[in-house]
Amino acid sequence: MEGKDSSEEAVAAIEACYQGFNPAAYLQYNYTPPRADFQRSDSIVPWKLSCLHKAFSEGEMPLIIYAQRNDIDIPASWIREETAGWVKCALIKKNPTAWTEKAERLRSVVTDVLPINVHQPCPLPAGSIPSSGADCLVSSFCLESVSPDLPSFTRALGHLSGLLRSGGHLLLIGALGESFYLGAPGLQIPVVPLDEAQVCSSLRTSGYQLLQLSVYHLPPDMRVGVDDVSGVFFAKARKP
């Protein structure tokens, strides 16, 4: 019981950090050049998008639930067309003049934006997904940045597994070797510093079949002082 109380207190401390989280600042730190430079093949954001594109091109995974950070105001307002530019960089790579059309297509297929608590056995509100489970879940830089330690990260993976149908896929993007990132000017949010072996072990412990693990190593000029990340991983896993 004492261990459970300690874990809950640690999660609550992480939650308190996010009270000062500034989504606009976070997007500025991470989704502008050099980290989001589509003229460079070694830029972080193009690498992440290419991993996702390949994963979805390899098989049909029609239902996606995004496990985002606790602040969902920006994606929700973008869907309502109140905020214009935060996803533009992800839409202009192939045809800079067609991004508005792609934006509208994306808006048309997103049915809702919901809060999610990965530390609860049932992370989403009841009825959010079909009773049979989701075909695919995508989590990007979420679990390691809302978990106080490696066991909490592993448990969160297990909770997400409960949202998937048998045979469903998890596409997981996360940081390697990161102990903090800036969530706002002067606000350092702690992160579980993972390595490749820990990611693989946590997925298998949580019951996933690991299908692919790709790793991106940050070039020196991508280390812009907003975190101490050394790399990024992309994992594709299946729930048996």
205: tokens are 């412990």
134: tokens are 């989701």
Domain match, 7 and 91 both: no
Domain match, 77 and 142 both: no
Mean pLDDT of all residues belonging to the chain: 84
Domain boundaries, position 103: 73-110
CA gap 209, 237 in Å, rounded: 5
Cβ-based neighbour number of residue 197 at 10 Å: 8
> Does residue 184 surpass a pLDDT of 90?
yes
Global pTM reads: 0.84
pLDDT-based confidence at residue 79 (cuts at 50, 70, 90): low
Domain match, 211 and 150 both: yes
Q: Which long-range contacts (CB under 8 A, 24 or more apart) does 222-227 make?
A: 222/34, 222/35, 222/43, 222/44, 224/29, 224/34, 224/35, 226/29, 226/30, 226/181, 226/182, 227/175, 227/178, 227/180, 227/181, 227/182, 227/191
Domain match, 56 and 163 both: yes
Domain match, 23 and 84 both: no
Of 44-48, 77-81, 131-135, 157-161, give the lowest mean pLDDT range.
77-81
pLDDT at residue number 90: 46
Total domain count, the chain: 2
Check: CB of residue 117 under 8 Å from CB of residue 156. no
pLDDT digits (tens, 9 = 90+) for 139-165: 999 999 999 999 999 999 999 999 999
Q: What is the DSSP string of 22-56?
A: -HHHHHHHHSSTTTT-TT-TT-HHHHHHHHHHHHH
The residue with greater pLDDT, 5 or 35, is 35
Of 91, 110, 129, the residue that ends a domain is 110
Domain match, 204 and 125 both: yes
Residue 188's CATH number? 3.40.50.150
Domain match, 88 and 100 both: yes
Bridge-partner residues for 171, per DSSP?
138, 236
Domain match, 94 and 124 both: no
Domain match, 173 and 229 both: yes
pLDDT at residue number 75: 58
CA gap 168, 94 in Å, rounded: 29
CA gap 62, 136 in Å, rounded: 7
CA gap 164, 130 in Å, rounded: 10
140: tokens are 């990007």
Domain match, 12 and 129 both: yes
Domain match, 100 and 36 both: no
Domain match, 7 and 104 both: no
